[in-house]
């Protein structure tokens, strides 16, 4: 290990500013150097909490869970190379890897933590090489304002006239609770989206008894079809009444001229609708057993 590290250091030595070490100095290091105590890696004891800037983002570790909440937001960039700031929640477990999150994209409102309006207004069109990335009137998929309560692990996001909230509870080692809340003041559809990381070729199953292998075949299940939960790659997520599970929800790939993406680049998305009678959804992520 030491030799490998030394070799890596030598490879990048031209990039390191400072005087060269002479043979005598190196010999002194070898002669008098010895092993000693070192500071533990942050979070090595299973507890870590760091707030970036003035509550711009928080990273929080509690046992096997790792949470990242971001309050960075901006208007939709017109460039294909700058992703929309739309996805603000990441949830990782040391046994399954990243469960919720997966980053941002363009032309895909179902990757947004919340949306207000008609999500069909913004989408990738096959063969289109110069799309308009800014959504038309009738859809808001990035927030106007975001505030972070780092201690409570909670985000408050404003999408036009609607105020939305998401919070994360990781107080138990095998169970995380994500709570999504939204007003329904505008009369437009309001939805939350839980983006779930897929594992190509792994099995999936539902509480209702449906099962299969994740691949090219699309999935679109209502809560009545899944039953109480959907499971994949060692995790199980609850499916609230009225919600739906969709696969694959494709990104826009800026490295292909026409922006097309394959199913392997997609996400599984749990869609949570709100209305005047439903302002809150609680989603439970449970870790089942060791992943293969």
Task: Give me the pLDDT at residue 290, please.
Answer: 52
Any domain includes 23: no
Any domain includes 147: yes
Any domain includes 22: no
Task: Give me the pLDDT at residue 14, please.
Answer: 45
> What strands, in cross-sheet order, belong to the sheet with 280-287?
145-149, 154-159, 162-172, 175-182, 280-287, 235-238, 229-232, 203-206, 211-213
Task: Give me the pLDDT at residue 180, please.
Answer: 99
What pLDDT digit, counting tens, does each position of 224-263 carry? Answer: 999 999 999 999 999 999 999 999 999 999 999 999 999 9
On the question of pLDDT at 6 being above 70, the answer is: no
On the question of pLDDT at 2 being above 50, the answer is: no
On the question of pLDDT at 10 being above 50, the answer is: no
pLDDT band at 42 (very low <50, low <70, confident <90, very high): confident
pLDDT over 90 percentage in the chain: 83
Q: Which of 29-33, 75-79, 84-88, 208-212 has the lowest mean pLDDT?
A: 29-33
Any domain includes 25: no
CATH label of the domain that carries residue 218: 2.70.98
Mean pLDDT of the chain: 92
On the question of pLDDT at 96 being above 60, the answer is: yes
Domain that residue 172 falls in: 48-287
The Cα 164–Cα 185 span in angstroms is: 11
Number of domains forming the structure of the chain: 1
């Amino acid at each position: 290990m030491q030799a490998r590290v030394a070799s890596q250091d030598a490879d990048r030595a031209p990039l390191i500013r400072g005087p060269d070490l002479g043979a005598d100095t190196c010999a002194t290091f070898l002669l008098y150097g010895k092993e000693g105590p070192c500071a533990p890696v942050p979070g090595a004891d299973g507890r870590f909490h760091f707030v970036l800037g003035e509550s711009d983002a928080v990273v929080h570790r509690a046992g096997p869970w790792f949470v990242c909440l971001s309050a960075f937001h901006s208007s939709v960039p017109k460039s294909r190379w700058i992703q929309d700031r739309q996805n603000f929640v990441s949830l990782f477990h040391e046994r399954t890897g990243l469960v919720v999150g997966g980053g941002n994209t363009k032309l895909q409102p179902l990757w947004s933590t919340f949306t207000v309006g008609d999500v069909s207004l913004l989408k990738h069109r096959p063969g289109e090489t110069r799309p308009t990335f800014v959504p038309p009137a009738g859809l808001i998929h990035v927030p106007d304002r975001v505030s972070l309560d780092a201690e409570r692990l909670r985000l408050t996001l404003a999408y036009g006239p609607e105020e939305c909230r998401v919070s994360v509870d990781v107080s138990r080692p095998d169970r995380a609770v994500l709570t999504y809340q939204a007003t329904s003041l505008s009369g437009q559809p309001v939805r939350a989206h839980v983006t779930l990381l897929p594992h190509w070729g792994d099995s999936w199953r539902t509480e209702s008894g449906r099962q299969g292998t994740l691949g090219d075949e699309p999935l679109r299940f209502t809560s009545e079809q899944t039953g109480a939960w959907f499971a994949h790659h060692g995790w199980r997520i609850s499916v609230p009444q009225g919600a739906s599970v969709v696969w694959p929800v494709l990104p826009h790939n800026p490295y292909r001229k026409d922006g097309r993406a394959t199913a392997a680049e997609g996400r599984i998305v749990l869609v949570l609708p709100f209305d005047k009678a439903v302002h809150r959804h609680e989603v439970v992520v449970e870790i089942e057993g060791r992943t293969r």
